[in-house]
Amino acid sequence: MARVADVLLRYAHEFTLVKGGRDAELTRINHYLIGAGLPPLACELRDEALCLVPKGSPIGENTPTGWQEHLRKRRHRRTRTYELIRAIGSTRCADLTTSQLRTLATTMKAEGLSPSTVQKELALLKAAFNVAIREWHWEGYRNPVVGIALGQSTHRFVRLTPTKRSASSRP
């Protein structure tokens, strides 16, 4: 029986690869893959086509020196979240429960992650399970994310007023 990481691996190759936000989604997926003992993925351009390949370095290894301490502290504040994500990655899909996912969402919020981040994490899992059921024809399988309210993502678009626009064009 497939593990959550196995579903996300296939989902990454079939769907994440062509998304505009693929890098952020791959970062999320990679934590599940690591939990299941699979190598994390990176997106590369080969022969003028995007493809996913095993990541050559651990997550965060290529982070600029000035950001490393910040990221270390941030990961430390979210230790339990990463533990849960990695445990979920190695969980058999048939054994994953809504309760486990609700615990993940609650832990993420308690460790200071934004509602938008929690929503994106659960939306990724929900989409992958929906694809497995609808397109890959996983008979008799249920989506464990169904029943958890996803909330709303925060839009990060900056709207420039004429004043801001003229200020940003000055040297």
What is the domain partition of the chain in residue ranges? 4-168
For position 155, what pLDDT does the model report?
55
Q: Rounded to two decimals, what is the model's pTM?
A: 0.81
Mean pLDDT lowest among 76-80, 90-94, 113-117: 76-80
54: helix, strand or coil: strand
CA–CA distance, 1 with 16 (Å, rounded to integer): 23
46-64 pLDDT, tens digit each: 888 889 999 876 655 666 7
CA–CA distance, 38 with 159 (Å, rounded to integer): 41
Please calculate the CA angle 114-4-43 and round it to the nearest 5 degrees: 75
For position 159, what pLDDT does the model report?
65
Residue at 62: amino acid letter: N
For position 31, what pLDDT does the model report?
95
CA–CA distance, 39 with 127 (Å, rounded to integer): 22
For position 60, what pLDDT does the model report?
59
Residues 6 or more apart whose Cβ sits within 8 Å of residue 129 = 7, 93, 141, 143, 144, 145
For position 166, what pLDDT does the model report?
54
pLDDT at 3 over 60: yes
At 58, phi and psi to the nearest 5?
-60, 155
25-42 pLDDT, tens digit each: 999 999 999 999 999 999
Whether 155 contacts 131, CB under 8 Å: no
109-168 pLDDT, tens digit each: 999 999 999 999 999 999 999 999 999 998 888 899 998 887 665 555 556 667 655 555
pLDDT over 70, % of the chain: 83
